[in-house]
Amino acid sequence: MPVNLPTNLLRSFVAIVDAGSMLSASHKVFVTQSALSLQIKRLEELLRQNLFLREGRRLSLTPAGELMLDYARKVLVLHDEAVATISAGHFASPTRIGVAQDFAETLLTGLLSQFADHHPGTQIYSRVADTQDLLVQLERGQIDIVLGFAQAADERAIAHTAMAWYGNADLLEQPVLPLAVLEAPCRFRDAALRALEKAGIPYRIAVETPHLTALRTAVEAGLGITCRTQLFLTEPPLQAGPMQKRVLPALPRLSCILQTAPRLDIATGQLARLAHQAMVAL
């Protein structure tokens, strides 16, 4: 069986070393000198090693005592840190939220700021990725909340939004339509390609990037047409003018979903409610 060393014995041992004598240490740990001597005797019995060399009233550490002093300090630091943390209520797990890129840029900053006002001491872990990837992480217990997109008829829907085409209308006149898309997997990319192929409109991928910010920059620079929601750009979506030869096909609607782990702590539950309110208000 492993030996258990009571922390009060370790604290007395360190106090004696730091104070330089039993008498001085007894005032520091509020224990009589005789009781302190018994504590050290008990510690030495548990370790089966002498910790002090006694020369009259003078004490000096043995090699075992020197080694034990280092360990005793480490144990007490961890012990006191654990007690302080638990007593202060800082034992909750991090609040973990995953969001699709569109929500990350338009919703996440304000959402987390509002959450921090309610729970300033809570640690937050946020993950930005494709909705399907986030749902897999939720199932594995790696995150607690998912904000993402799904098909319009999804039973988890708490709001709906429309897909639309965005970009420079002059690009509609090009023989082969230049597209700006995110890397696969991406439901917007898939929807755009399916719609164009079904309509028989030739296209080429002019810009492909994993980042929504880079995609927005490319579209604003006139490098390609893309398919997103109203969260993507502040300007209205593309509408073909009366002189334009090409009309872009209709795109499907989407649902906005919020999924959570089966059990949430108080802080994470609050974040989920704030996220629900924010999505409904979009």
Range 46-56 burial, b when 16+ CB lie within 10 A, else e: eeeeebbeeee
DSSP secondary structure string for all residues of 88-133: TTTTSPPEEEEE-HHHIIIIIHHHHHHHHHH-TT--EEEEE--HHH
CB 126 within 8 A of CB 112: yes
Q: Whole-angstrom Cα distance, residue 46 to residue 44? A: 5
Distance between CA atoms of 173 and 196, rounded to whole angstroms?
15
Domains contained in the chain, CATH given = 7-87 (1.10.10.10), 95-160+255-280 (3.40.190.10), 164-251 (3.40.190.10)
pLDDT digit string (tens) for the chain, length 282 residues:
678 899 999 999 998 888 888 888 887 777 788 888 899 999 999 999 999 887 766 788 999 999 999 999 999 988 887 777 666 655 556 788 999 888 887 777 788 888 888 777 778 888 888 888 899 999 988 899 999 898 888 888 888 888 899 998 889 989 999 999 998 888 899 999 999 999 999 999 999 998 888 998 999 899 999 999 887 766 667 654 444 566 889 999 999 999 999 888 888 888 899 888 888 877
Instruction: Give the model's pLDDT for residue 1.
Output: 63
Closest by alpha carbon to 251, among 183, 202, 199?
A: 199
CB 196 within 8 A of CB 131: no
